[in-house]
Amino acid sequence: MSELTISRRGLLAGSALLWASTALPAIAFAQTPKKGGRLVLAADSEPRNLNPAIVASNGVFFISSKIVETLAEASFDGKDGLEPRLALSWEGAADGLSVTFKLRDGVKWHDGKPFTSADVAFSALQIWKPLQNLGRTVFKDLEAVDTPDELTAVFKFAKPTPFQLIRNALPALSSVVPKHLYEVGKIEDNPANNAPVGTGPFKFAEYKAGQYYRLTRNDAYWSKDEPYLDEIVYQVLPDRTSAAAALEAEEIQLAAFSAVPLADLDRISKVPGLKVITKGYEGLTYQLVVEINHRRKELADLKVRQAIAHAIDKDFVVRTIFLGYAATATGPVPKNDPQFYTADVPTYPFDVAKANALLDEAGYKRADDGKRFALKLLPAPYFNETKQFGDYLRQALAAIGIDAQIVNNDSAAHIKAVYTDHAFDLAVGPPVFRGDPAISTTILVQSGIPDGVPFSNQGGYKNADLDALIVKASETLDAAARTELYKEFQKKVAADLPLINVAEWSFISVARDTVGNIANNPRWAVSNWADTYLES
């Protein structure tokens, strides 16, 4: 979707004649969106804080992105992979010290007040920078936001900040909330955190704990005629098997974020009236990673890490655990990233004999019982697949004489054990790639991160070269040069294996045939759904 489509739609609404006669792209013609209807979909968790400006996470976006909008959204065909939302354009200064946003005119908050640059300034300075989980890193050098007029916001940075990074951060980190509601009292205690107010196509209506969230149509949405739906209802279904049953029983029309287990997809794709959609998550790639505690002397040895990498049959993992709905990984940037990915890195083909030889070379001979040494393996409990991969990894390690004992923790205990107590040898983690390595990828290998920071290097790995490279890339303003540095970064990580990247996966949606305009952007499940519709 671009500006072009929006204006075309405006035209369309005006004349029925145009409808039939203009040479519309076939796709737009075939999918004439219908107005009205209630979309019911499955939600497997209940985020308490629904303010996406404070909590930039997919669980919150899934609901809040329909209510609170960002400056820009990810796009399949837009320039730099972006399309405008609250901002119409964005431009970085050559010195990297400022970025200028031109904002959309005529936008109103759900309570009727006008949206202005003051809201953007307030959100950026008072929320993204000091409070937001990801913004605290990306906007750490943001010093001021100038508002020369109501529709211009100029971000001023204390240190040169790559425009490429800011741009890549826009879809996830730039949710704008109303200043007039947040400027009184403590931001963290604001009631709007639980009943968000935004500029988006849907308004927050109600939340019944343990049952549902309900959003209703924003009649005053800035994009004329949108949204198409009257209501969106998120039905809370905590059990992993119930989403599939609810779809089949026609109680819900959509299950996103792989709420239907992968193993059930083949069967459910044959159910009449249901479709399985693999698109629409390109911008939300999760990585299957073996985290390594380099404090263990065996694991501090590169040969041992190489042996483990060779012992993992990545094709088996993709085929059997992900049933093909994933890709094998080569390094810390996923293959589907259009900007940074390079395939030119050292690889570790599945080779048990070589792995055994490497371990022998490293001096860890098999004892009489065939075992070389024992390890503690902690698979993250958040996904079925991470747990299953833990089971697989245990078997793969057994084949090369490493005796891994799995420690099964719930989420809180896992976070504490791995990221605060470092009570692990190997862990299986699902870090998220957020479109730019500087947002949440480099911290997986960078040294000097304090204890207790989740999804960061807590394995005691320290590589001065790599640290220097990460710092240099974070200060490089030229996009091409910066991209080159991150390619170098991928090579170094793949060569030294501070962690082992095994696979990359996105999610799957299952929907009834009647749901239209699904998966039309790379972050579809967490985008605003203004153009989603239901056929009667």
- For another protein, the binding residues in 235-274 under the rule CB under 8 A are 235-242, 244-246, 248-249, 251, 261, 263-264, 266-267
Q: Residue 259 Cβ, how far from another protein at the closest point, in Å?
A: 12
Alpha carbon separation from 64 to 70, 113, 133, 308 (Å, rounded)? 11, 19, 16, 41
**Cα of 456 vs its chain's centroid, Å:** 16
Within positions 6 to 25, which residues make up the interface with another protein, using CB under 8 A? none
Q: Where are the alpha helices (DSSP H) in 222-261?
A: 242-248
Comparison of 40 and 469: residue with beta carbon closer to another protein: 40
Window 158-197: contact mask with another protein (x via CB under 8 A): ------------------------------xx----x---
Q: Which residues fall within 8 angstroms of residue 501, CB to CB, at 6 or more apart?
A: 287, 288, 289, 329, 330, 331, 332, 494
Q: How far apart are CA 188 and CA 207, in angstroms?
A: 19
Answer yes or no whether residue 366 interacts with another protein by CB under 8 A: no
Alpha carbon separation from 82 to 10, 72, 197, 338 (Å, rounded)? 22, 6, 24, 12
Q: Could you say which of 206, 344, 475, 535 contacts another protein (CB under 8 A)?
A: 206
Q: Which residues fall within 8 angstroms of residue 432, CB to CB, at 6 or more apart?
A: 58, 284, 285, 286, 287, 440, 455
Pick the stretch among 19-27, 206-214, 288-296, 497-505 that binds another protein (CB under 8 A).
206-214
Q: Residue 81 Cβ, how far from another protein at the closest point, in Å?
A: 22
- DSSP annotation of 215: E
Q: Could you say which of 200, 334, 381, 498 contacts another protein (CB under 8 A)?
A: 381
Q: Are strands 402-406 and 373-379 parallel, antiparallel or unpaired?
A: parallel
Pick the stretch among 25-33, 173-181, 391-399, 519-527 that binds another protein (CB under 8 A).
391-399
Q: Residue 261 Cβ, how far from another protein at the closest point, in Å?
A: 4
Within positions 414 to 433, which residues make up the interface with another protein, using CB under 8 A? 414-417, 420-421
Q: Residue 65 Cβ, how far from another protein at the closest point, in Å?
A: 15
Answer yes or no whether residue 48 interacts with another protein by CB under 8 A: yes
Comparison of 358 and 380: residue with beta carbon closer to another protein: 380
At residue 331, what is the residue type?
A: G
Q: Residue 415 Cβ, how far from another protein at the closest point, in Å?
A: 4
Q: Could you say which of 94, 408, 513, 535 contacts another protein (CB under 8 A)?
A: 408
Within positions 278 to 337, which residues make up the interface with another protein, using CB under 8 A? 320-321
Q: Which residues fall within 8 angstroms of residue 104, CB to CB, at 6 or more apart?
A: 84, 85, 86, 87, 88, 115, 151, 222
Q: Which residue has the tokens 């490089």?
A: 476
Q: How many residues bind another protein (CB under 8 A)?
A: 84
Task: Return the percent helix, strand and coil in the chain, to nearest 5.
Answer: 35, 20, 45
Q: Could you say which of 77, 79, 184, 208 contacts another protein (CB under 8 A)?
A: 208
Helix (H, G, I), strand (E, B), or coil: what is residue 176? coil
Q: How far apart are CA 67 and CA 82, in angstroms?
A: 19
Comparison of 222 and 389: residue with beta carbon closer to another protein: 389
Q: Could you say which of 129, 167, 203, 214 contacts another protein (CB under 8 A)?
A: 214
Q: Residue 58 Cβ, how far from another protein at the closest point, in Å?
A: 8
Within positions 106 to 145, which residues make up the interface with another protein, using CB under 8 A? 131, 133-134, 136-137
Answer yes or no whether residue 211 interacts with another protein by CB under 8 A: yes
Comparison of 364 and 455: residue with beta carbon closer to another protein: 455
Q: Which residues fall within 8 angstroms of residue 6, CB to CB, at 6 or more apart?
A: 223
